[in-house]
Amino acid sequence: MNNDTKTIRLDLSGISSFVSDAELKVWHDKCQGYVEALHQGTGAGSDFLGWIELPTQITEADLEEIEVAAKALADQCDYIVSVGIGGSYLGTRAVLEAMTSSFEAYKSHHKHPQLLFAGHNIGEDYLWELCDFLRGKRFGIINISKSGTTTEPAIAFRVLKALLEEQVGRQGARELILAVTDKAKGALRTLADKEGYKTFVIPDDIGGRFSVLTPVGLLPLAAAGINIRALVEGARAMKAMVDSGVPTECNISALYAAARTALYVKGKKIEILANYHPKMHYIGEWWKQLYGESEGKDGKGIFNASVDLTADLHSMGQWIQEGERSIFETVISVLNSDRELRIQPDKEDLDGLNYLAGKRIDEVNKMAELGTRMAHIDGGVPNIRITLPKLDEYYIGQLFYFFEKAVGISGYMIGVNPFNQPGVEAYKKNMFALLEKPGFEEATKAIKERL
């Protein structure tokens, strides 16, 4: 294991009473083959492996182009709406929430435009309220869709584009809209070319949930003032740590993949990603998409859930401690908090908290984490622990790449193609049939007969 404190680290000691060394070794021994399959492109889904080399392929010119366009947009806006869903949404939101004050939205002055989100739901109230809020304000749009045909963001963009054009005219709106999409195909590409929007390309060989380090994530994050260079730098550092030449026993992505697969085949079918840092909620959401969409197919795959602790110890905590023993827990722990706040002594001590006087809030949090870990292990929940020295762009970049590499390996371990998502089409087909989309006439007829 790498002892460099400038890296995230993996601790598997909390699974030792659930999986024997011999059981773990079975999967460790297989790792090298799967790592090679990823690097040589000999496994399933090999058309979508562009994310592997991505961190080291991003050039200075790429970063500059993104930063220049982001700044040009940011200079004209107080609000920027990032339109997208799934992989075109979650990574951006995860980094943004992790890197901004929890109360940013309530501040009266902002150094950078506020990033808002749309296209990740079909909520009429949500979109109405967003338009109502933006009316009369200086706003711009970054419209993100790899396929360029996804219904949710397409609807949101149509509505927001109309509002923007109403406010600044069609020509004015062209200066305030950026698009991130396929280089040649899809409705968004056609629309962007026709309108003359500045566009950024999502490479063909990088799937949505692996695209946070392309302009999909980097452009809106740069516009919101996030240090995208540190994010990429972190991913580069992790890439070196888990690259093809690294022995499996030192490759933390391979070790994590092996551990979770060993638990899965022993009946631990649910993995709960737990954080103890309120800014990490959307990192859990990003992780759920990455793992759920990559592994859940062909009747296989660990079910991914996430909890925010200690909040959810007062809700899901009961289930985790004593419910069906089909779960294991992966805890992401941030070792050092950014700010310092101590609990004051109080003369009267009416709340009985003087035993904590002088302690930092984070010390209490760490004891809650340790106590919970011990209680969960005692209660039959294997515990994997991932530590980040601190929560910043650099370590989030490391974490993203660590998880991406691990899901490629563990997807191959359970025998699925981790890079497709055929199951996502089923709801779309029914929805289009129900909405009587042209081209779906037969399906419309069939589905109406079922109602």
User: Phi and psi (nearest 5°) for 3?
Assistant: -95, 0
Neighbours of 3 (CB within 10 A): 6
Within 343-372, the residues that bind ligand PA5 by CB under 6 A are: none
| Residue among 25, 428, 429, 448 flagged as catalytic | 428
Quick one: 87 or 397, whose CB is closer to ligand PA5?
A: 87
User: In this structure, are residues 320 and 272 in contact, taking their beta carbons and an 8 Å threshold?
Assistant: yes
Stretch near ligand PA5 under the rule CB under 6 A, chosen from 11-19, 79-87, 255-263, 432-440: 79-87
Should residue 150 be labelled a site residue for ligand PA5 when binding is judged by CB under 6 A?
Answer: yes
Give me the DSSP letters along 356-424.
GTT-BHHHHHHHHHHHHHHHHHHTT--EEEEEEEE-SHHHHHHHHHHHHHHHHHHHHHTTS-TT--GGG
Within 163-222, the residues that bind ligand PA5 by CB under 6 A are: 207-209
Quick one: 150 or 248, whose CB is closer to ligand PA5?
A: 150
Residue selected from 14, 43, 45, 87 as contacting ligand PA5 according to rule CB under 6 A: 87
Within 2-41, the residues that bind ligand PA5 by CB under 6 A are: none
Going from the C-alpha of 308 to that of each of 14, 273, 368, the distances in angstroms are 20, 9, 13
User: In this structure, are residues 207 and 87 in contact, taking their beta carbons and an 8 Å threshold?
Assistant: yes
Buried b (16+ CB within 10 A) or exposed e, 234-252: bbbbbbebbbeebebeebb
* Closest residue to ligand PA5: CB criterion: 208
Which residue do the tokens 């079918």 mark? 269
- CA atoms within a 13 Å half-sphere pointing along the CA-CB vector of 409: 32
Taking CB under 6 A as the rule, which mask of x and - marks residues 99-138 in contact with ligand PA5?
A: ----------------------------------------
| Residue among 109, 111, 194, 314 flagged as catalytic | 314
Stretch near ligand PA5 under the rule CB under 6 A, chosen from 142-150, 264-272, 315-323, 343-351: 142-150
Taking CB under 6 A as the rule, which mask of x and - marks residues 285-324 in contact with ligand PA5?
A: --------x-------------------------------
Stretch near ligand PA5 under the rule CB under 6 A, chosen from 85-93, 100-108, 157-165, 271-279: 85-93
Question: Residue 215 Cβ, how far from ligand PA5 at the closest point, in Å?
Answer: 12
- Strands in 270-275's sheet, in edge-to-edge order, are 9-11, 383-390, 327-336, 270-275, 303-308
| Residue among 285, 293, 393, 404 flagged as catalytic | 293
Which residue do the tokens 């994530």 mark? 217
Stretch near ligand PA5 under the rule CB under 6 A, chosen from 18-26, 58-66, 143-151, 239-247: 143-151
Should residue 140 be labelled a site residue for ligand PA5 when binding is judged by CB under 6 A?
Answer: no
- Strands in 79-83's sheet, in edge-to-edge order, are 114-118, 79-83, 139-145, 177-181, 198-201
> Catalytic site residue 293?
yes
Question: Residue 430 Cβ, how far from ligand PA5 at the closest point, in Å?
Answer: 16
Should residue 275 be labelled a site residue for ligand PA5 when binding is judged by CB under 6 A?
Answer: no
User: Phi and psi (nearest 5°) for 422?
Assistant: -60, -30
Should residue 147 be labelled a site residue for ligand PA5 when binding is judged by CB under 6 A?
Answer: yes
Tell me which residue of 449, 450, 424, 447 sits closest to 437, measured CA to CA. Answer: 447
First to last CA, the chain: 57
Question: Residue 446 Cβ, how far from ligand PA5 at the closest point, in Å?
Answer: 24
Within 227-266, the residues that bind ligand PA5 by CB under 6 A are: none
Question: Residue 46 Cβ, how far from ligand PA5 at the closest point, in Å?
Answer: 16
Question: Rounded CA gap, 403 and 257, in Å?
Answer: 9
Question: Rounded CA gap, 409 and 37, in Å?
Answer: 9
Should residue 421 be labelled a site residue for ligand PA5 when binding is judged by CB under 6 A?
Answer: yes
Cβ neighbours for 391, distance < 8 A, ≥ 6 positions apart: 98, 99, 277, 279, 280, 334, 338
Tell me which residue of 257, 220, 202 sits closest to 414, measured CA to CA. Answer: 257
Residue selected from 145, 248, 253, 304 as contacting ligand PA5 according to rule CB under 6 A: 145
Question: Residue 292 Cβ, how far from ligand PA5 at the closest point, in Å?
Answer: 10
The residues annotated with a catalytic role in the active site are: 293, 314, 428
Residues in touch with ligand PA5 (CB under 6 A):
85-88, 145-147, 150, 153, 207-209, 293, 421
